[in-house]
Structure 1
């Protein structure tokens, strides 16, 4: 057997039937849920339990990431919105008008990520405006994590339903 055939059987380029796509999707949303505005969740829980230096480190890391995110959104926000809109529109047209399965799969990943980006900027603005005490900051970060998990669950559910629909349509065509 030729190694090219073996390689292309293992790495299936049809997105919804590829185990690699689903692994990537699970790892992506797991990572998005673990890093709350760039702060590892275990640091948040450790800071909440122990206080002291861990709490100071967590507050500093949140401040750094909030300032970084807001600076990026203020300086290049309109440009980023334009680029993301162009990419999403291109993927939408290629995927759902022209039927390119890879574009459909990428759109179903990119759209929820862009929503999460907007939610992250809004959370960062709220945190900066409130200048919260550590207990309030924990609550704000946990609320942001909850919204991240909700967006991720909806994204995975919609992607799984659409992927099954696509695969059943492919099987029906055989």
Structure 2
């Protein structure tokens, strides 16, 4: 068996002096970690600075977009007001035209006789003085002379010509008249 030498302790320490101590190793690891954290922080700062720069640029563009939106809205309001005034003008013109048509229909309804030669119940009878000439009845005017401008000759009322009855429908169709007066034709198969 080999012998163990418990000899001198001084000889062992110089052999151990060549190896690094645990404290130095820990210091190197802590310094490397701090360097790594510093590098990560620097990279994060650079990306944060770039992000803030991009955010400022986007905010500036959004402000321009807001101004652009206000200009568009103002122009749309102008166009809308123009169209609205045109529609109001057309509406008033249409209402005026409808009123004129209604008045014309009312006058025609009053003056137009029915097919039998009799006037409609609401129609006014033309007076004899209005339809006579000055030469026929100068005394009917109550002493006014023919040269005075107060006398106007009115034309004789027109007589409505009775229209012919509608042609008989084809034998291929059946005529259906509803109680409200509407007439429909249905094809017979």
Give the TM-score taking structure 2 as reference length: 0.23
More helix as a share of residues: 1
Rg (Cα) greater in structure? 2
